[in-house]
Amino acid sequence: MASIPLLVFVVAAYTALALAAPGWLEATLFGLPLLSGAVLLFQGGDLLLVVGLFLLCVEIYRATNSSTAAILNHVLSLVVFIIALIELIVMPRMANMTFFLIVLMTLSDVIAGFTVTISTARRDIQRPS
């Protein structure tokens, strides 16, 4: 379970909703009143973006671990990115800005994971015993 990239749940949820209930992604779910008097409206896709951003933060934190499970997580994150990118390019229902931003989150997860792992490995190699 530690090696499963968390963003796979956001990609899977968006894909399932885009295919089964596309109206939910554009439907306004709730509004957040602001001090200015304006109301910030949240649609289904916006909610998935917020969840994705929180999960991306968790993934970046998890990238600091250099265990075998973390390395497998990085490889699986790359697979999730490739699948999401293919969905964006091939599936017409995924061709929107919300899913594009989710794909960018998966790319950020891949870059952060490999960068942190390489930096940690380099530091461990340079440290005298």
Q: Is the dihedral of CA 21, 26, 27, 29 positive or negative?
A: positive
- Which of 28-32, 62-66, 114-118 has maximum average pLDDT? 28-32
Q: Cα–Cα distance between 69 and 57 in angstroms, integer?
A: 18
What does the pLDDT read at residue 68?
78
Three-state secondary-structure class, residue 41: strand
Cβ contacts of 111 within 8 Å, gap of 6 or more: none
Say yes or no to pLDDT of 67 above 90.
no
- Give pTM, 2 decimals: 0.89
Say yes or no to pLDDT of 62 above 70.
yes
Say yes or no to pLDDT of 77 above 60.
yes
What does the pLDDT read at residue 121?
66
